[in-house]
Chain A
Amino acid sequence: MTQKNTRATEGTENTDQMPAHRSKAVSIDLGAVRSKLQRGGAQVWRSLDEVSDTPEFKDYLHREFPTNASEWLDPVGRRSFLKLMSASMALAGVTACTVQPQELIVPYVRQPEEEIPGKPLFFATAITLGGVASGLLVESHEGRPTKIEGNPDHPASKGATDLFAQGSVLTLYDPDRSKTILQFGEIRPWSAATTAIRGGLSAQSSSKGAGLRILTETVASPTLAAQIQQVLSQHPSAKWIQWEPVNRDNARAGARTAFGQYVEPLYDLTKADVILSLDADFLASDGPHNLSSMRQFATRRRVEDGADNLNRLYVVESDHTVTGGKADHRLPIKSSQIEAFARAVAAGAGVSGVSGQAPAGSDAFASAVAKDLAEHKGRAVVMVGDSQPPAVHALAHAINAAIGAPVSYVATPEIVPTEQSAAFTELVADINAGQVQMLVIVGESNPVHTAPADLKFAEAIRKVNLVVHSGLFLDETATLSHWHLERRAHD
């Protein structure tokens, strides 16, 4: 019936005709297609062609690779194809019948100290991610870095690295790395840049820097923080904003709710018999301590000499993660339901003043986890992912306190901890209010590209008189800045 309809419309001008994906356009009887689809029942189809089931489409499916498939069935075409290919292959082989090309040896003019040709040199350095530095060893062959591994002397990583550190070797060869100082895209010398920056700063001296803003990534470097604070001491009304698109605001706000100040929890997983992870992928990507977490977790997963001290891992998460894959008991629930789940566990584990009902279907899991945590006082720990809201972090701190978890609270790795999103929103408001005359942006956070679109940072940045950007790449932020200063990484 469909075929009949198709034939009936063939050759007629049909305004409903779909643009076909092959050279010969085939008309589709949309009326027939509609009636077919209205028949109901389970139907799976990928295109209108398929559902209309034209003979042309059947032919198309049969040939699969329409442009070349016929070549193999045509004896003349196949023969000439094989002839040409075999000739090409034979000629490619002839290239081996030559004398080795002359090679040059290019020694150093002045050989660097400790450099031995043919032997790699290893340089100790560090990479920061989210403001937390991890120690690295970079293998270098005659000045060319080839491989990045962890520094075995680093107390946290003990020679391990994560995927970001492994991949960072490519940054060193990135052709998009900026190479020079630019003013509105024109190359300028350092002297011109420093003159412009000094001019901007001296204009601020009368107002004690009220129009000066410094926007950086999360700063964990004592040196950089001291330098910025030196600028701030000379310009007391200026403001320093730390901002990264993926930040730890929730964890910081949760800690402030629980303790009244910003602290960083350090879990000792070697002492934990029971671990509850609330959306925390601590074995792969979550948090700055994932390398030490992995190592500590693994020490309690080795069955050697009949050891009977294996830990038990509960993972409650909304995604498939490496940590979830390692879980003894995994509960997939919505990210938004985790707070309710945490309340139920907190109530069950003996946190006073908290009550709650676990999300539907997870009652048994929540009560089992709460019971297990309560039974392992001093040997159980609750961890929360950075994506969870502050309330969940605060609840976890409360549970950990109630069960005496092996966790110590230390100063945050960032020198001056802040809640970054609020600070950044305030910056944009200040710019829009015309209070900012000079903006210094340091780092790779690239706010023009990564800031929340609602803030319209790309429009705001144009209102500032002097924008100085220092970064590795000539990115969107660099393009909208008046000055771009190239920055070096690793080297």
Chain B
Amino acid sequence: MSQVFPKVANAWSKASLITIVFLVLGLGWIVLTLQRSDFVTSANQFVEQPVQFSHQHHAGGIGIECRYCHTSVEVSPSAGIPPTKTCINCHSQIWNQSPYLEPVRASFRDDKPLNWVRVHDLPDFVYFNHSIHVRKGVGCETCHGRVDRMPLMIQKASLQMEWCLDCHRDPSRYVRPRDQITTMGYVPAVAQAELGPELVREYKIADKEHLTNCSVCHR
């Protein structure tokens, strides 16, 4: 009886075994990369808003403080989206004829709220509180990025759990003095490696065991 497989089949079978290993590894790599990609996390993607509001102009250019509009960031879980009245404070005087601002004027005139589109959308099963982060020295910029350079608001961070845990495992790498919370482009006065642990002590930031407890966020 003649041979069923030619001699060359040995080489093919060896090669295909190796290929299968690489295929499995490659597939795993694709899955891991994809689920961290902006496509999945919605990071760095522009979202159309009802009003062409520019943080770059208002926060960066004019230098309006973050808390002028986001009033409840220090006292409430929610930083607060300003009521139309806050826009009208200035825009009843300046740019009060601008066609760009017609939706704002219409909202104020008709008593109909503006419908902003949420950019930072955490999953509903996670609890987040702005006030405690601000109180413990986490700056706006740390999570939201250089808002003063964003013409349209984008989500800078992935908002995935590994991103949260990165800081919760060792906050000393990110905390800053409370008087620098709203500073954009903050540079620590002394090395962060020195300043961080000192602030963690001063602000009584809880230890890693507490900060990484599941029920801190998943309540």
**Interface of A with B (CB < 8 Å)?**
99-100, 102-111, 116-119
Cα A110 to Cα B75 with chains together (Å): 20
Taking CB atoms, residues of chain A closer than 8 Å to B85 are: 108-111
Whether A110 contacts B84 by the Cβ 8 Å rule is yes
**Selected interface stretch from B7-15, B111-119, B184-192:** B111-119
Residue in contact with B81 in the complex, picked from A100, A117, A119, CB distance below 8 Å:
A117
Inter-chain contact A108/B113, CB cutoff 8 Å: yes
- Which residue from chain A places its CB closest to the CB of B69 in the assembled complex? A107
**Beta-carbon contacts of B114-139 to A below 8 Å, as 1s and 0s?**
11111001010000000000000000
Q: For B130, give the chain A residue with the smallest CB separation.
A: A118
Q: Chain A residues near B44 (CB, 8 Å)?
A: none
- Contacting pair B121 A119 (CB below 8 A): no
Taking CB atoms, residues of chain B closer than 8 Å to A117 are: 72, 76, 78, 80-81
In the complex, the answer to whether B108 meets A109 with C-beta atoms within 8 Å is: yes
Distance (Å) between the CB of A104 and the closest chain B CB? 5
B82 CB within 8 Å of chain A: yes
Q: Roughly how many angstroms separate A102 CA and B115 CA in the complex, as a whole number?
A: 12
* B48-91 interface code vs A (CB 8 A; 1 in, 0 out): 00000000000000000000000110011110111111000000
Answer yes or no: B142 CB below 8 A from chain A CBs: no
Across the interface, do A102 and B111 meet the contact criterion of CB distance under 8 Å? no
Q: Give the A-B contact count at a CB cut-off of 8 A.
A: 69
New A-B pairs, 16, CB < 8 Å, besides A105-B118, A109-B84, A117-B81: A99-B40, A104-B117, A104-B118, A105-B116, A106-B113, A107-B114, A108-B113, A109-B111, A109-B113, A110-B84, A116-B72, A118-B72, A118-B76, A118-B78, A118-B80, A119-B75
The answer to whether A104 and B115 touch across the interface, beta carbons within 8 angstroms, is yes
Q: Which residues of B contact A99 (CB under 8 A)?
A: 40, 42
B129: nearest residue on chain A (CB-CB)?
A118
In the assembly, what is the distance between CA of A435 and CA of B171, in Å? 83
> Nearest-CB distance from A59 to chain B (Å)?
50
- 14 of the cross-chain contacts (CB-CB < 8 Å) are A102-B118, A103-B118, A105-B117, A105-B118, A106-B113, A107-B81, A109-B84, A109-B111, A109-B112, A110-B84, A116-B75, A116-B80, A118-B78, A119-B77
In the complex, chain B residues whose CB is within 8 Å of the CB of A111? 83, 85
Chain A residues closer than 8 Å to B212, beta-carbon distance: none
Measured CB to CB, the nearest residue on chain B to A112 is B83
From A102, A109, A119, contact of B117 by CB (8 A): A102
CB distance from B191 to the nearest CB of A (A): 36
| B107 CB-CB contact with A under 8 Å | yes
Query: B78 — nearest CB in chain A belongs to which residue?
Result: A118
In the bound complex, residues from chain B placing their C-beta under 8 Å from that of A104 are 115-118
Instruction: Write out the residue numbers on chain B whose beta carbons fall within 8 Å of the beta carbon of A105.
Output: 81, 115-118
Interface core residue of B47, B77, B123 (most chain A CB under 10 Å) = B77
Kindly provide the distance from the CB of B148 to the nearest chain A CB, expressed in whole angstroms: 21
Residues of B with C-beta under 8 A to A106:
113-116
User: Which 5 residue pairs spanning A and B have beta carbons closest together?
Assistant: A118-B78, A118-B76, A108-B83, A111-B83, A103-B118
Q: In the bound complex, how far is the Cα of B111 from the Cα of A105, in angstroms?
A: 16
Residues of B within 8 A of A118 (CB): 72, 76-78, 80
Please measure, in the bound complex, the distance between the C-alpha atom of A372 and the C-alpha atom of B45, giving whole angstroms: 82
Given the known inter-chain contacts A119-B72, A119-B75, please indicate yes or no for A107 contacting B84, CB distance below 8 A: yes
Q: Write the nearest CB–CB distance from A135 to chain B, whole angstroms.
A: 27
- Establish whether residues A107 and B75, one from each chain, have CB atoms under 8 Å apart when the complex forms: no
Taking CB as reference atom, which chain A residue is nearest B118? A103
Chain A residues within an 8 Å CB radius of B42:
99-100
- Contact, CB under 8 Å: A100 / B121: yes
Min CB distance B118 to A, Å, is 4
Nearest CB of chain A from residue B159's CB, rounded to whole Å: 11
Contact A109 B83 (CB under 8 A): yes
